[in-house]
């Protein structure tokens, strides 16, 4: 189980995250945030593996990644 949280009000719509997602689930929304950008988001959370690559390339720290901790 994993989840990505997009702080959409911080997103400048640069799309760098959309190009690196191995599952191709990061998409740009049609809505406009307060800064006037179309923010990125993920609708298909069930497909997210929590790899964090989208967060790694995001220049604006829009993305937080959560993952189920594995039992050791």
Partner 1 sequence: MKKVFSRPRSLKDVPFHYCPGCTHGVAHRLVAEVIDELGIQDNVIGNAPVGCAVFTMDYFDFDMISAAHGRAPAVATGVKRVLPDRVVFTYQGDGDLAAIGTGEFVHAAVRGEKITCIFINNAVYGMTGGQMAPTTLLGQKTKTTPYGRDSEVNGYPIKVCEMLTPLDGAAYVARVAVHSPKAIIQAKKAIKKAFQVQINGLGFSLVEILSTCPTNWGLTPLEAVKWLDENMIPYFPLGEYKVPPAGVI
- Residues lying near partner 1 in the complex (CB under 8 A): 1-3, 10, 12-16, 19-20, 35, 37, 50, 52-53, 55-61, 63-69
- In this complex, which beta carbon is closest to partner 1, that of residue 25 or of residue 37? 37
Residue 38 C-beta: closest distance to partner 1, Å: 10
Nearer to partner 1, 25 or 55 (CB): 55
Question: Three-state SS across 36-67?
Answer: CCCCEEECCHHHCCCCCHHHHHCCCCCEEEEE
The two tokens of residue 4 are: 């990505």
């Amino acid at each position: 189980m994993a989840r990505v949280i997009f702080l959409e009000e911080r997103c400048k719509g640069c799309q760098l995250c959309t190009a690196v997602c191995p599952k191709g689930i990061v998409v740009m929304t049609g809505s406009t945030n307060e800064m006037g950008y179309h923010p990125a988001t993920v609708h298909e959370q069930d497909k997210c593996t929590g790899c964090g690559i989208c967060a790694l390339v995001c220049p604006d720290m829009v993305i937080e990644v959560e993952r189920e901790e594995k039992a050791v």
